[in-house]
Each structure stands twice: as structure tokens, then as C-alpha cells.
């Protein structure tokens, strides 16, 4: 399935329903165009609203109601393949949920770069080639808003020097075509409100254009301040913080998605970095640590197996006993008898 904007041609492939096609977004389409996502209803329902302006600016709003699908999983939605006539600046914010893009900055033959964002952590891109797989968090309703501004339009609105400064201060370059940065709500507020439901037709587009300009000006002002944090990969210090967090956890183990939100990286990246630093996956580390705790407690004090199993996050005492015996070669009750 293909859709056009004034300066771009995109090809979308549905990952959950590859045989389906959908309506086409028109180059000179109506006020507001809606593209429903193709997916089985037992997984969820989603759609994309777009406002396309004659100068090439495109405003998007995507809603993904993935409540039927399992919480804590990343659900693949679509594969995007597009090329712009010129580089374009893209800002993307999440009002709820979590979004993940596997982006191919150097073409499909090179490994993808994983970009993960959620409320408070906004994504910025500057590129011509748009190739990515799009995934969202399952079990929740997520909402995303985004604006795409061609480079020539950015320079007409902000000026050439200001545009170059904005792109540079955000950390964007040919080698790094997307970054995720924490952003205060007041910076993203104009973009959040740009696609207003209180207007229609020409009034809706006029209001949206004004809010987009407010957003770009506010973003430029923010990056020129000293408050913009650098975009950094997950550090060894962060992995040590995660280890300390896991050691002090009691009860049910949080999902990787929840941990990824807390530590600001994707679930896969978090688990890979933790494994590289500590030699075990997150799940293996927690399991090993909790069973070692249980062994020490059973040797040092009388405690009911059911109480211990609940404290360590097992839903049933039999699960705890099975895991304990697999780890140490004997059941936990044998320590109690000793």
C-alpha cells in the first residue's frame, strides 16, 4: 500500500495482516484523512489521522488500542519504506503507551537501530530515507502525535542558521538520524494540541499551522538554553543502578517493558546491556538472586514456604519448590527439616 504527501512517497506493509490493503492518503486530500490499520481484532484496533499542508508539512495523530493483546509485549504493526525529495525534520511525542521503531539508517542491508519513546521522552529525526518497522506496547491504549517539516520549509520559518543550530543541538547528523530526549511538557504542548477537534476545514489547518510554528519556536528556544540533556546510550552506571534495583525488589517481577520505561531504553537493549555488564539476563539474575536469598533464609530462620514464595514473587508455592529443587538439587523443605 502506498500513500503520498507533497514531497514524499511512502510504502506501508501491514505486519499483522500482510494480505490486506487500505485506503490511500491523497497528495491533495481533504481536511483530515484517516487510515485504519490492518490487524486482527483480537490483537487490537488502530488508526492514523493526518493533516497534509500544501508547503509539505504533515501532521499526524496515531491511536493504538491494543488492550486485547498481552501486556508487556511489543506488537509489530507496520513496515515503512519511503524517500523524501529533501531532508525533513520530524518530531514525535507520545501521550500514552510506548512506541518502538527499528530504523534502517543505512538501508535494509545494514543492522537496524532501535528507537524507543514514551511520554516525556520525545523522538527527533532529520533524514530523507524512511525505512523502519513500527511496534507498540500491547495491553494498553497508546497515542502518538508527530509533525514532519521539509528542510526548505524549516529554513523559511526559522532561518538557515537557526535550523542548523536546532539540528546540531539535538544531536542529529547523517550518522545519527534519530535521537530520543527527555522533554518538559511545556515544550511539546503546542504539538500536543495542534490537531484540534474544535475546528474543521480551513480553520483546523490554520490553527494547526499556528501551533506547529509555536512548537518549533519553543523547541529552538529550549535547545539554546542550558537545560537540554545530551543524548546518551545506556551506561555502565545505569546497569549498576538496575542491578541494585533488582536486588531490592520484592514480590512479582516487573515486566521488561516496565523496566525499560523506568530506565529509558528499549526492553531488548536493556536486557542486552545488562547481560553484557553482569553476565546474565535480567530474568536469570533475578531468579538466581532470589533463590540464593531463599536458601540463606531457610538455613537461618523458620519461615513458611508459602510466605517465602510470595515474598520472592512466585504465584504458587509449588512453583517456588520446583525452581528451588532445580537450582540446588533438593527441595526447600529438606532445609527446614534439618
Q: Rounded to an integer, what is the distance from CA 320 to the centroid of its chain?
A: 34
pLDDT band at 191, cuts 50/70/90?
Answer: very high
Dump strand ranges (E) for the chain. 2-5, 8-14, 33-36, 45-52, 58-65, 74-96, 99-103, 113-117, 121-137, 141-150, 178-182
Task: Write down the pLDDT at residue 155.
Answer: 93
Q: What is the DSSP string of 234-264?
A: PPHHHHHHHHHHHHT--SSPPPHHHHHHHHT
- Dist. CA 226–CA 222, nearest whole Å: 8
Task: Write down the pLDDT at residue 156.
Answer: 93
Could you report the per-residue pLDDT of 39-81, keeping only the tens digit for each?
A: 999 999 999 999 999 888 999 999 999 988 888 788 999 998 8
- Dist. CA 137–CA 141, nearest whole Å: 8
- Dist. CA 20–CA 44, nearest whole Å: 16
Over pLDDT 90: what percentage of the chain? 34
pLDDT band at 1, cuts 50/70/90?
Answer: very low
Domain boundaries, the chain: 2-224, 236-337
Q: Looking at the predicted structure, is the pLDDT value of residue 116 above 80?
A: yes
Q: Which three cell numbers stand for residue 313?
A: 514473587
Task: Write down the pLDDT at residue 44.
Answer: 93
Task: Write down the pLDDT at residue 214.
Answer: 95
Q: Looking at the predicted structure, is the pLDDT value of residue 3 above 60?
A: no
Measuring CA to CA, how many Å separate 169 from each of 43, 69, 278, 312? Answer: 40, 39, 34, 45
The single-letter DSSP state of residue 193 is H
- Dist. CA 336–CA 334, nearest whole Å: 5
Mean pLDDT, residues 290-304: 77
CATH fold group of domain 2-224 = Jelly Rolls (2.60.120)
- Dist. CA 302–CA 304, nearest whole Å: 7
- Dist. CA 264–CA 124, nearest whole Å: 15
pTM above 0.75, yes or no: no
Decide: 8 and 52 in contact? Cβ < 8 Å.
no
Residue tagged 489547518 (cell numbers): 205
Handedness of CA 327, 331, 332, 334 (dihedral sign): negative
Which span out of 122-131, 258-267, 310-319 was modeled with the highest average pLDDT?
A: 122-131
Which span out of 40-44, 257-261, 318-322 was modeled with the highest average pLDDT?
A: 40-44
pLDDT band at 201, cuts 50/70/90?
Answer: confident
- Dist. CA 37–CA 244, nearest whole Å: 41
Q: Looking at the predicted structure, is the pLDDT value of residue 140 above 80?
A: yes
pLDDT band at 4, cuts 50/70/90?
Answer: very low
CATH architecture of 236-337: Orthogonal Bundle (1.10)
Q: Long-range CB contacts (< 8 A, 24+ apart) of 326-335? A: 327/288, 327/291, 328/291, 328/295, 332/294, 332/295, 332/298, 332/305, 332/308, 333/305, 335/295, 335/298, 335/299
Could you report the per-residue pLDDT of 218-232, keeping only the tens digit for each?
A: 999 998 886 666 555
Residue bearing the bigger pLDDT, 139 or 8: 139
Over pLDDT 70: what percentage of the chain? 89
Q: Looking at the predicted structure, is the pLDDT value of residue 234 above 70?
A: no
Region for 149 from its dihedrals, namely left if φ exceeds 0, alpha if ψ lies in -120 to 50, beta otherwise: beta
Q: Looking at the predicted structure, is the pLDDT value of residue 24 above 60?
A: no
Q: Looking at the predicted structure, is the pLDDT value of residue 6 above 50?
A: no
pLDDT band at 21, cuts 50/70/90?
Answer: low
Phi and psi torsions of 199, nearest 5°: -125, 165
Average pLDDT score over the chain? 83
Amino acid at each position: 500500500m502506498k500513500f503520498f504527501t507533497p514531497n514524499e512517497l511512502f510504502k506501508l506493509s501491514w505486519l499483522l495482516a500482510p494480505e490486506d490493503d487500505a485506503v490511500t492518503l491523497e497528495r491533495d486530500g481533504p481536511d483530515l484523512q484517516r487510515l485504519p490499520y490492518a490487524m486482527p481484532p483480537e490483537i487490537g484496533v488502530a488508526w492514523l489521522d493526518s493533516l497534509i499542508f500544501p508547503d509539505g508539512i504533515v501532521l499526524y495523530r496515531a491511536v493504538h488500542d491494543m488492550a486485547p493483546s498481552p501486556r508487556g509485549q511489543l506488537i509489530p504493526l507496520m513496515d515503512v519504506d519511503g524517500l523524501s525529495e529533501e531532508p525533513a525534520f520530524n518530531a514525535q511525542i507520545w501521550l500514552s503507551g510506548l512506541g518502538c521503531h527499528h530504523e534502517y539508517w543505512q538501508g535494509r542491508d545494514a543492522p537496524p537501530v532501535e528507537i524507543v519513546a514514551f511520554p516525556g521522552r520525545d523522538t527527533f529525526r532529520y533524514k530523507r530515507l524512511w525505512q523502519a518497522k513500527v511496534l507498540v506496547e500491547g495491553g494498553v491504549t497508546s497515542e502518538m502525535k508527530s509533525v514532519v517539516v521539509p528542510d526548505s520549509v524549516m529554513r523559511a520559518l526559522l532561518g538557515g542558521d537557526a535550523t542548523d543550530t536546532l539540528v546540531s543541538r539535538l544531536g542529529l547528523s547523517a550518522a545519527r538520524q534519530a535521537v530520543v530526549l527527555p522533554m518538559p511538557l511545556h515544550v511539546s504542548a503546542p504539538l500536543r494540541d495542534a490537531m484540534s477537534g474544535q475546528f474543521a476545514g480551513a480553520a483546523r489547518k490554520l490553527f494547526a499551522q499556528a501551533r506547529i510554528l509555536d512548537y518549533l519556536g519553543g523547541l529552538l528556544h529550549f535547545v539554546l538554553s542550558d537545560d537540554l540533556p545530551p543524548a546518551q546510550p545506556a551506561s555502565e552506571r545505569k546497569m549498576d543502578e538496575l542491578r541494585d534495583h533488582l536486588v531490592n525488589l520484592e514480590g512479582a517481577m516487573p515486566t521488561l517493558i516496565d523496566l525499560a520505561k523506568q530506565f529509558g531504553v528499549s526492553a531488548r537493549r536493556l536486557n542486552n546491556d545488562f547481560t553484557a555488564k553482569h553476565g546474565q539476563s535480567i530474568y536469570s539474575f533475578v531468579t538466581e538472586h532470589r533463590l540464593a536469598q531463599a536458601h540463606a533464609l531457610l538455613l537461618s530462620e523458620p519461615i513458611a514456604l508459602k510466605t517465602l514464595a510470595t515474598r520472592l514473587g512466585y504465584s504458587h508455592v509449588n512453583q517456588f519448590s520446583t525452581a528451588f529443587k532445580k537450582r540446588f538439587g533438593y527441595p526447600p523443605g529438606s532445609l527446614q527439616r534439618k
